Structure 1
Amino acid sequence: MNLFDLRSPDDIKALKEEELKELAEEIRRFLIMSIAKTGGHLSSNLGVVELTIALHKVFDSPRDKIFFDVGHQSYVHKILTGRIKEFKTLRQYKGLSGFQKRRESVHDVWEAGHSSTSLSAALGMAIARDLQKEHYQVIPVIGDAAFASGMSFEALNQIGEQQRNMIIILNDNDMSISKNVGAIQQTLTKMRVSKSYTALKSDLKGALSGNQAGNALLKAMRSVKNAVKENVIPDNIFTELHIDYIGPVDGHDIGELIKVFESAKQHQGPLVIHVITKKGKGYPYAENDKEGKWHGVSPFDIESGRSLSMLPHGHKSWSEIITDAVCDLAEQNKQIVAITPAMISGSKLERFFSAYPQRSFDCGIAEEHAMTFAAALALNGFRPFISVYSSFLQRAYDQINHDVARMDLPVVIGVDRAGLVGEDGETHHGVFDIAMLRSIPNLIIAQPKDAKEARSLLKLAFSGNHPFVIRYPRGSEAQSTECEAITCGTWVKYPCIAEAKAIVIAYGSDVDKIIAKAKVNEIALLVVNARFFKPLDHNCLDELAQMHLPIFVYETDLLAGGLSSAILEYGNDSGKDWEIHRIGIGDHFVEHGSLPNLRKQEHIDLNTLFEELLHVIR
């Protein structure tokens, strides 16, 4: 059928197995061609094509609640629910979201963006259904990496106790963004490759290939599952939690998936169906990727696999700049260790993990554990560097507060993807960390304006005795191997042109852009690099107040609790008489779109800053 004729899952209900296989191949080709133009999450979506088709073939969305953990692998779901014509706008401002969004479709029954929420949500939906005496299926799809997180186990614990009807699809591709780690993954590996399991899986396929239906088929499946429990893995983590288990099932065999799902509808209580899929299936570059390069991609050339988004000459990503600096420091200081919650490739830590494998630790999708683990290492004489995306850092707030800051331990926290990140939208913008962390005692919080300052701040961080947060954005910066001494809590003033008529306090890479724009347009400014959010440079602020000039605080994060809030608090407490203008993000979530577009829409672009400056100066 023509993909563009798809309006709802009802359109595939009457298709035969061979037609569904053809549909799967058409969808796979469309995804490759479409994502090559727009960018997006490629590998995860290529891996769930048959699985998603089978789910919508068997279950009745939106009455039955089908939803995906994280949600970045919901592209096939969007196609089957009538949104294919919008794919040309994928992840663009006001366009189709890269995640499930309730405002887009009644078929999107849950929103996420972060890992491991689906099982808790599923239990809530199942209990709400039962309390309202309704009858529908709840089907969360969760990956093996997300399953291994603490939140998933908290949910499984109660799911086993509650015994509500739900069908949990464990989508096992042995990958998160990069290769999975941990004892739980080793258990799943045994379940995948056991010879006894392979034989039992053949028995299961034999049962499914017969003419039995309904309860007879379910009984055959249960006998296989019981044999698995008794003869292969007596410590099955699901059955020990009183959750029935079936699998492994070939996640690319539509016929097998349909028969298993049809049978599962008869099951009473919680059931896990263990589905084996291939991440990136159908596109060789993605299939063979073991480092996560094809997890989320910018536009690319399909034939060569070459990205069409190239860094400027002499530039590196901020993540690489930070990793290079940490590696150089680690060469001199054997106590430096690196920690990541499943983001080796995303945070560009490959160089450190390769150079210092004994001092490198991937904790899996477990930010809370990773932070307390870092605290304990610091307590015992090591100097941990833990890299966490800003949008994931909030999951470790309690651990930063209680385990790191309260004991005043010298953990260096790299807050990657700080600020607006663009196309991933609300769940991924890193605009909350300054406000979230600023109230915590003992923390030092800083952001470099360039690679040289990044190296200097990291050197300061590892030489100190307090927890130190260094935040850096998505994007790139010119490389540098230079370093200079920095005194903690100091800002830097840069006069532009003549005697200043206004003051701009800013941070990060915008500092140099503001200076350059002021010089080109011959605007008399004093630009201040507020590289420390905490502690503030009170001496510098006292000097600025004495100049009696309008002060613009330019921040590209939330105004509430941010840099300008800190400055106003200090001014109020010290009786400053100054004129403060604040530019930043208001009290709302920012949707997805390109960074230039989002900055313009949020009125935090440089043109807006200079328009307001000129209005006040003139």
Structure 2
Amino acid sequence: MLNVPNNLHLITDPEAEALCADLRDRLVEVVSRTGGHLSANLGAVELTVALHRVFAPERDRIVFDVGHQCYCHKMLTGRDGAMDTLRSFGGLSGFPKPGESVCDAFSVGHASTSVSVAVGMARARSILRKDYHVVALLGDGALTGGLAYEGLSDAGDSGEPMIVILNDNGMSITQSVGGVAEHLAHQRLKPQYLSFKKGYRRVMNGFSLGRHIYKVTHKIKTAIKETLLPCSLFEDMGFTYLGPVDGHDVRGLTRLLRYAKDLEGPVLLHVRTVKGKGYAPAEADPGRFHGVGKFDPATGLSLAAPGRNFSQVFGETLCALAEKDRRICAVTAAMQPGTGLDGFAQRFPERFFDVGIAEGHAVTMCAGMAKQGLVPVFAVYSSFLQRAYDMLLHDVAIQGLHVVFCVDRAGLVGEDGETHHGIFDVGFLDTIPGIQVLCPASYAELADMLEYAVKGCRGPVAVRYPRGGEGTCRMSFGHAPAAVLREGRDLTLVGYGTQINALLEAAELLEEKGVSAEIVKLNSITPLNAAPVLDSVKKTGTLLVAEESAAANCVGIRLAAALAQAGIETRNIALQNLGSGFPPQGSVQQLRRLYGLDGASIAGKAWEVCGHGEKAAGHPAF
């Protein structure tokens, strides 16, 4: 447990430095047990402490971008005692969450949003005549996303008093000109200079001639500064630029934030930090510790046994296909390791493109590539593909271009929670005219479907697969629209992807109770070939569709409509899905049980659907 002072505004500089050291130790201790985002948090320790020394988070609005770096903020706002529940079911979120604390200004999880949110909050403050400060934290990686520039442009033009902190931990935002620029940047951030600047402006604005002199000298100073210092981009947008400054100097950061707090209009503070700062394994490999599972804090080595997963199989298969076809290119939006593309990037660097956090651009770029004869394969997390819906429609689908979307993290993803579950693509991809959506249940099937998507399809095609492993169903049905895995007479169970594993388990449990379940596996969910399901339901009279998808436009609804349209009478239809809300964080196993999508729960629901009564009425526990 941390010993957090009651009033961070009153602590001395040495006390602040000691608190930073304690926070860093506590971060490694907690994340080694819970897993989570370590590198970004280690890099933002001093910045977080400085923010809490200057601002009051229960009143002032500190808006995180993505929120990967919010752990210290949670510890400093009364939640240190609950940090061992981080990212667990019913525990603390790994991201800012207003429902968790009034100190969390906004719920986030995706990048490039903070400045837009902050502008909105600043405008609300002005219109409602409230008194609070607004601060947006923006990582240099988030500047690869177009939304960040939209927010910056509007913020600078708005004139609203607010501070944007650019946390630069690796990407070169603008190029300085060596020692002269560094020296001038250091000089203009000294306390004496800042105090003189404030006093000079106050005095010169006090009379007409002074205002004229101030304008002339300000123009001269700006011209010199733009020649020598890396700040013209932001000042052209309308910001007062401060920096670059050492992001691990808590004294200097505190002083600069106090100065920036008193300035009128938008301010951009450029802070340089080191990702993974203070923990040698994370400094040496910040990428691996960006999002990490449980590990040994003494060595940094993972405690989980390495194993294959869908992302790895996708990367290997794509490399094999690209070896034979030089038209195949791989595209990612800042997710090279996560999507399994490290090997492709090494083997085919000229055909690998990481566009940064810019999913919309990635889709439209793929459209251009496809139009000119390439076969672009865009590997993207399901929840991030949501940002490119317009481009899917307007730039790819209208022209029927052959772009392959490999939709990783489809379905429940676990501990990252509401912002990252891939539960909406089933519904929104079905609205894209001409697209085909394939759902492999095994590694072998992923390889077959990816080859078919690349070589055998025309127009847009998506292959969606979950985070993690394949389960027990390891056969492959290639790209056939559907397959009957198990014959039965009493009930039709329908699913797709790795959900098939739970259906097979449920069928075995039902068999023990005398219920014969037929299982229909859908390999393609868009366009939906309902014929095998309709034929099965004609025989069994009862249907249960289980899917890790939001209820809106789910496959179950489409199948129910097909049955009604075909005039097929049924005794009962049940749709087991994730409903109309946002599933919470927790392990995938916990969440499947919560929503009735594990084998035992499906068996229990099937028992009920078949007319054997509810659990409360005494039907057998599965």
Fold-level match, TM-score > 0.5? yes
* Residue 77 of structure 2 is aligned to residue 81 of structure 1: yes
CA distance in 2, matches of 1:479, 1:382: 36
The yes-or-no answer on 1:242 pairing with 2:233 is no
Question: What CA distance in whole angstroms lies between the structure 1 residues aligned with 2:219 and 2:54?
Answer: 23
Q: Does 2:191 correspond to 1:202?
A: no
Alignment of 1:64-463 (within 5 A): 64-174=60-170, 185-188=171-174, 190-191=175-176, 194-205=178-189, 207-208=190-191, 212=195, 215-216=198-199, 226=222, 229-233=225-229, 236-289=232-285, 292-311=287-306, 315-463=307-455
**How far did residue 197 of structure 1 move?**
2.2
Of 472, 481, 486 in structure 1, the residue corresponding to residue 479 of structure 2 is: 486
The residue matched to 2:244 in structure 1 has which SS?
strand
Larger radius of gyration: 2
| 1:338-361 Cα shifts (integer Å, max 9, x gaps) | 000111011121011111100000
Match of 2:615 in 1: none
| Paired amino acid for 2:246 | D
Q: Report the CA distance shift for 1:49/1:427 in structure 2 as closer, same or farther (over 3 A).
A: same
**Cα contact 2:502–2:598 (8 A) shared by 1:** no
- Residues 121 and 217 of structure 1: CA distance in aligned 2, closer, same or farther (over 3 Å): farther
User: What residue in structure 1 maps to residue 206 of structure 2?
Assistant: none
**Deviation (angstroms), 1:484:** 6.9
1:225–1:245: 8 Å Cα contact kept in structure 2? no
* Matched-pair contact (CA < 8 Å) for 2:34–2:84: yes
Structure 1 equivalent of residue 559 of structure 2: 567
Q: How does 1:520-599 map to 2 (within 5 A)?
A: 522-523=511-512, 524-578=516-570, 579-599=572-592
Separation of aligned partners in 2, 1:441 and 1:357: 33
Structure 2 Cα separation of the partners of residues 234 and 54 of structure 1:
24
Counterpart AA for 1:3: L
Partner of 1:3: 2
Q: State TM-score, norm by structure 2.
A: 0.90
Could you tell me how far apart the structure 2 residues matched to 1:366 and 1:580 are? 41
Contact 1:316 1:479 in 2 (8 A): no
After alignment, is 134-143 or 423-432 more displaced?
134-143
Q: Cα–Cα, structure 1 residues 274 and 224, in superposed 2: closer, same or farther, change >3 Å?
A: farther
CA drift at 1:548: 3.4
Shift in CA distance, 352/548, structure 1 to aligned 2, threshold 3 Å? same
Q: How many positions carry a matched residue from both structures?
A: 592
Q: Does 1:502 align with 2:502?
A: no
Change in Cα spacing, 1:134 to 1:330, as seen in structure 2 (3 Å) is: same
Q: Deviations 1:438-493 (Å, cap 9, x if unpaired)?
A: 12210101110101111111111112112101111111237999977534xx1010
Contact 2:472 2:501 in 1 (8 A): no
Deviation of 1:332 after TM superposition, in Å, equals 1.1
What SS is found at the alignment partner of 1:557? coil
TM-score of the superposition, structure 1-length normalised? 0.91
Matches of 2:180 and 2:408 in 1, distance apart?
A: 44
SS in 1 for 2:531: helix
Amino acid at match of 2:198: N
What is the letter of the counterpart of residue 448 of structure 2? S
Shift of 1:310: 1.9
The answer to whether structure 1 residue 472 and structure 2 residue 489 are counterparts is no
Where 1:560 maps in the other structure, the secondary structure is coil
Q: 1:507, 1:286 → 2: CA distance?
A: 39
Deviations 1:364-410 (A, max 9, x none): 00010000000110111010100111111110000011111111111
Seen in structure 2, the aligned counterparts of structure 1 residues 149 and 485 have a Cα distance that, compared at 3 Å, is closer
Q: 1:136-172 CA distances to partner (integer Å, 9 max, x unpaired)?
A: 2111111011123100111112112211111110011
The answer (yes or no) to whether the contact 1:4–1:84 under 8 Å persists in 2 is no
Q: Please, which runs of 5 or more residues in structure 1 have no aligned partner?
A: 175-184
Distance 1:224 1:3, change over 3 A: farther
Q: Given the alignment, which residue of 591, 594, 603 partners 1:601?
A: 594
Query: What code does the residue aligned with 2:548 have?
Result: T
SS for the counterpart of 1:567 is: helix
> What is the root-mean-square deviation in Å for CA atoms of aligned residues?
2.5
